[in-house]
């Protein structure tokens, strides 16, 4: 669909792809109402108003997240079929309606469906679509473009928790859901409809805005060629690199969600209060934001699997710091290094798919990766909780968790970009 050539909706003195990046960043920002950092603010109010136990609400949330993760795979196929513009407008509208649904919750079934919809349309689809859209517009500058887009995610994670807290205290949780639904429908959906185009070719442009590769430029970015080879999902799945990178995608989702979910409890056992735990989360976001620009610059110039491996060895170091954190300054060190690693993985784990397998079937390929990531994020906190119940602490499970980034780092090193001709010869 939308294969015809047209004109850009507005004339810009710069490459129109950067306008697309801006809307993509807004999509990541507006995924916020479906992210754990936003939803967590509502949980205690649900427990109080509905008189549910924490385990009941947590169970509903985990079940809904798992179902959303499994369903998300189909979104990738729909993106490939209908294009990012149509899907961004449709998903934005669906997320808006889901937020209105949450404003009228009356029982556990409605709560399950509400969690399912905001996780599927928000956390899943509103991040999946922009991560398949921006790579269509950029090849040589893909890392830098994804770095700019990532600003939306950092702004969302920094602003939504305190903003939700203030709105709920001022207007109630039902009105807060409704306000976010209205904001999506009034602000984001029209912008996506008017400004987004699926590919530069649809408005007579080419990726990066340059008709020809700049002399010598191809040597600076060894990850991709200007004329990318596009793999189907089935073809990609026949490569070793696909499965190794897929495992690498699971690790940050599992580990980071587990630590975030239990960070207050982890710090409490070390004699550190809730304020220290909150500071760690804030440091992670503050440090991670500028690091994305560094990682975006590096992945445009070096083999992406080497950068990915370095990221996982950073994970190992971060977990070792957490293992020995018992003072405020070690907590600060943990937050800084965690943010550094998070800034790298946000870019590297998104750029590896289009760089390895091209743009044409990116929705299906990235959709499967996003499905695995969401399922990993749903399962991550459980082992930490079980070890705490069994052994009264987290030391043992943190040690075991280190095995995941160790394995992922090795697999990343063994996963150079697959050769298209070799697999199609």
- Domain match, 36 and 165 both: yes
- Domain match, 194 and 235 both: no
State the pLDDT at residue 264: 73
Q: Could you give the C-alpha distances from 48 to 43, 107, 122, 155, 369, in angstroms and in order? A: 9, 13, 25, 29, 36
Residue pLDDT, tens place only, 340-357: 998 888 888 888 888 898
- Domain match, 61 and 135 both: yes
DSSP 285-332: HHHHHHHHHHHHHHHTTS-HHHHHHHHHHHHHHHHHHHHH--SHHHHH
Angstrom distance (rounded) from CA 32 to CA 289 = 16
- Domain match, 242 and 171 both: no
State the pLDDT at residue 407: 96
Question: Which residues, at least 6 apart from 386, have a Cβ–Cβ distance to it below 8 Å?
Answer: none
Counting the structural domains of the chain, the total is 2
- Domain match, 190 and 235 both: no
Q: Supply 354's token pair.
A: 């289009």
Contact 270, 392 (CB under 8 A): no
- Calculate Rg over the CA atoms of the chain: 21
Angstrom distance (rounded) from CA 380 to CA 389 = 16
Q: Supply 184's token pair.
A: 């999506």
State the pLDDT at residue 170: 92
- Domain match, 178 and 39 both: yes
Can you list the residues of the chain whose pLDDT is less than 50? Answer: 1-4, 212-227
Does the residue 88 lie in any domain? yes
Structural domain harbouring 275: 231-415
State the pLDDT at residue 219: 39
Angstrom distance (rounded) from CA 319 to CA 325 = 10
- Domain match, 249 and 292 both: yes
Residue pLDDT, tens place only, 365-391: 888 888 888 888 777 777 877 787 788
Does the residue 221 lie in any domain? no
């Amino acid at each position: 669909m939308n294969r015809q050539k047209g004109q850009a909706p507005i004339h810009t003195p710069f490459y129109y792809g950067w306008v697309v990046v801006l809307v993509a960043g807004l999509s990541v920002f507006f995924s916020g109402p479906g992210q754990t950092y936003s939803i967590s603010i509502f949980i205690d109010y649900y427990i109080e108003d509905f008189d549910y136990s924490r385990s009941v609400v947590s169970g509903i949330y985990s079940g809904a997240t798992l179902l959303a993760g499994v369903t998300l795979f189909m979104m990738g196929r729909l993106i490939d079929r209908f294009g990012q513009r149509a899907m961004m407008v449709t998903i934005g509208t669906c997320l808006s309606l889901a937020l209105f649904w949450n404003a009228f919750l009356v029982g556990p079934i409605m709560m399950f469906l509400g969690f399912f919809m905001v996780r599927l349309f928000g956390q899943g689809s509103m991040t999946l679509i922009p991560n398949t859209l921006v790579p269509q517009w950029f090849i040589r500058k893909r890392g830098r473009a994804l770095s700019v887009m990532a600003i939306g995610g950092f702004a969302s994670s920094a602003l939504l928790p305190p903003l939700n807290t203030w709105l709920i205290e001022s207007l109630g949780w039902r009105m807060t859901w409704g306000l976010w639904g209205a904001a999506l429908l009034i602000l984001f959906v029209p912008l996506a409809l008017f400004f987004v185009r699926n590919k530069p070719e649809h408005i007579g442009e080419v990726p990066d805005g340059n008709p020809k590769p700049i002399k010598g430029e191809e040597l600076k970015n060894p990850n991709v060629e200007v004329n990318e080879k596009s793999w189907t999902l089935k073809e990609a799945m026949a490569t070793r690199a696909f499965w190794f990178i897929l495992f690498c995608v699971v690790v940050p989702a599992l580990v980071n969600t587990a630590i975030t979910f239990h960070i207050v409890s982890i710090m409490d056992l070390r004699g550190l209060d809730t304020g220290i735990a909150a500071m760690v989360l804030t440091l992670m976001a503050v440090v991670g934001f500028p690091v994305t620009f560094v990682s975006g610059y590096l992945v445009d110039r070096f083999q992406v699997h080497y950068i990915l491996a370095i990221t996982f060895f950073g994970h190992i170091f971060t977990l070792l710091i957490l293992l020995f954190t018992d003072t405020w300054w070690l907590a600060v060190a943990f937050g800084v290094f965690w943010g550094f690693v998070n800034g790298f993985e946000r870019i590297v784990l998104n750029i590896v798919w289009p760089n390895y397998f091209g743009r044409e079937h990116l929705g299906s390929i990235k959709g499967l990766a996003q499905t695995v990531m969401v399922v990993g994020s749903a399962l991550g906190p459980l082992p930490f909780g079980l070890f705490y119940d069994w052994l009264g602490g987290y030391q043992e499970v943190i040690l075991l968790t280190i095995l995941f980034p160790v394995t992922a780092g090795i697999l990343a090193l063994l996963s150079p970009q697959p050769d298209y001709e070799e697999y199609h010869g």
